Amino acid sequence: MSFLRKVLAIVQKDVAVELRTREMLSSMFVFSLLVIVIFSFAFELRVENVREVAPGVLWVTFVFAGMLGLSRSFVLEKDKGCLEGLLLCPVDRSAIYFGKMLGNVIFMTIVEAIILPIFSILFNIFLFQPVLLLIVVLGTLGFAGVGTLFSAMAVHTRSREVMLPILLFPVVVPAMIAAVKATGGILDGQPFSEIAHWVRLLAVFDVVFLAISFMTFDYVVEE
Amino acid sequence: MIEVRGLVKSFGSKVALEGVDLDVAEGEFLTLVGPNGAGKTTLIRILATLTRPTGGSVRVAGYDLAGQGAEIRRRIGLASHQTLLYGDLSAEENLRFYGRMYEVPELEERITALLQRVGLEHRRHDLVRTLSRGMQQRLSLARALLHDPAILLLDEPYTGLDQQAVEVLREVLVALAPPKLGGMKGGAKSRTVLMTTHNLERGLELCDRAAILVNGRLVHQADKSDLDVVSFTQAYRRHLHVSRFTFDVGVGR
């Protein structure tokens, strides 16, 4: 219970800071909106069946918006040495990882919840299907799970805005392929059994990388 | 309370600490002075479990650094020249967050008491980024004392403060010092303090033992009873001169 209370304290702290500054949410939202509007206009001119490109556009939007949020996640902690303040707390350091990761999941989910209806309108596709929402949740969890670990690594480097995508993208490729394939299957009207293997791959990715991050976070943040 | 034996820390080919042996007894106030790059901050960071040593052994409050980091962290408070505070949270919110992380009992009363102690009760709802550097440093001290640690590590607490802020911080530190050094009775009677500073005058005023760290080595130690500011300053300058000479000869070769 003590572990969970401390995870919750970190999440609440991140949410309180974000509600006050709105720096992360506003940049993620504006970026996402720009991406889908530009893609919408671009495809309107040439692509006849937007359903074929919609899953890719949707996940490109989520991933790049998520990257903006992740790159800021530990910058906030680096300022004034707050990361050291967290590391000084008498808690298993994986609690810091889970607190930061859950905060990132919450921020990404808020942006996704706003972007999905706009995406539905611009691309004229109905996205509010339970399986599709499950895929979005699993994809977001996997991306934020690995991203939080790499964000903690990259924050110590001088060119962290470049380092984070370079480190993160190769690792999240399997999850993104699975998410795009599963989303495409749903939009094509395939039954769940046809896309179940992609959903399972997403779930396994989440479990494996959350476990790896849990075990390695201590070594990533300590000098 | 703090036992350091043969402590070595290297960053690649750069050796920051070279076989440091140090003991700090319970209730003792030790001031560690040394020039920039002497290894003072590295030593404090190792004691605070923020940096892993390359070699040697460290025991803090009876716990081994290697496998009992969380137990050590429960018993130490660190105030450095960085405040470790969130600028976009208020003074009170910062202390409440850290209080929850340290599971401080009766947290609200503790926050009020500490804000009064560091003279920031009237600014408790203000965002930390709106406070002056001196106020932030006092709040940082309140954060370090929030869980009433048995050991207080102070890394250059006077850095970046103007004269008035130095005086205010000094008053807070005097109150923290053991009663024999002018501190308040009861509050800090068994608190062990290790402070690093460039400011010899301030450092020697509060301590009951002082040590000089140069080039990663403890080169001189003196008890308060045998210590006067003039002779300690001379010893400090002598060791600095020797270290510079050694460095110059090394570079010359």
Q: Tell me, what's the ipTM? A: 0.88
Which residue in chain B is spatially nearest to A22 when comparing CA positions? B88
Nearest to A183 by CA among A55, A96, A88: A55
> What pTM was computed for the model?
0.87
Nearest to B143 by CA among B51, B76, B43, B47: B76
Residues B71, A91: C-beta atoms closer than 8 Å: no
**Residue-level pLDDT at B251:** 41
- List b or e across A129-154, with b for residues whose CB sees 16 or more CB atoms inside 10 angstroms: eebbebbbebbbbbbbbbbbbbbbbb
CA distance A97 to A183: 29
Mean local confidence (pLDDT), B141-150: 91
**Residue-level pLDDT at B186:** 42
Nearest to B153 by CA among B114, B183, B188, B193: B193
Identify all chain B residues contacting A92, using CB atoms and an 8 Å cutoff: 70
Mean local confidence (pLDDT), B33-39: 87
Provide the shortest C-alpha distance from residue A92 to chain B (in Å). Answer: 7
- Using DSSP, state whether B213 is helix, strand or coil: strand
Q: Angle, nearest 10°, between helix axes A160-187 and A192-221?
A: 160
* Neighbour count for residue B253 (Cβ, 10 Å): 5
Task: Say if residues A114 and A37 touch (Cβ distance below 8 Å).
Answer: no
**Residue-level pLDDT at B244:** 59
Which residue in chain A is spatially nearest to B10 when comparing CA positions? A223
**Residue-level pLDDT at B153:** 93
Mean local confidence (pLDDT), B150-167: 83
Mean local confidence (pLDDT), B123-133: 93
Strand B2-11 relative to strand B76-79, pairing: unpaired
Q: Is the pLDDT of residue B182 over 60?
A: no
- Using DSSP, state whether B161 is helix, strand or coil: coil
Q: Which range among A3-12, A81-90, B21-30, B173-182 shows the weakest confidence by mean pLDDT?
A: B173-182
Q: Is the pLDDT of residue B178 over 90?
A: no
**Residue-level pLDDT at B246:** 55
Residues A20, B87: C-beta atoms closer than 8 Å: no
Mean local confidence (pLDDT), B149-174: 82
Cα dihedral sign for A145, A146, A149, A155?
Answer: negative
Q: Does A90 touch chain B if contact means CB atoms closer than 8 Å?
A: yes
Provide the shortest C-alpha distance from residue A156 to chain B (in Å). Answer: 14
CB pairs under 8 A between A and B: 75
Q: Which residues of chain A have pLDDT under 50?
A: none
CA distance A194 to A191: 6
Residues B98, A79: C-beta atoms closer than 8 Å: no
Identify all chain A residues contacting B89, using CB atoms and an 8 Å cutoff: 13, 16-17, 20
Average pLDDT, chain B: 84
Identify all chain B residues contacting A223, using CB atoms and an 8 Å cutoff: 45, 50-52
Q: Does B191 touch chain A if contact means CB atoms closer than 8 Å?
A: no
Provide the shortest C-alpha distance from residue A161 to chain B (in Å). Answer: 22
Mean local confidence (pLDDT), B153-164: 82
Mean local confidence (pLDDT), B221-228: 79
Residues A81, B93: C-beta atoms closer than 8 Å: no
Identify all chain B residues contacting A87, using CB atoms and an 8 Å cutoff: 49-50
What are the start-end ranges of the H helices in B118-211?
A: 133-145, 163-176, 200-206
Q: Does B133 touch chain A if contact means CB atoms closer than 8 Å?
A: no
Domains of chain B: 2-252 (3.40.50.300)
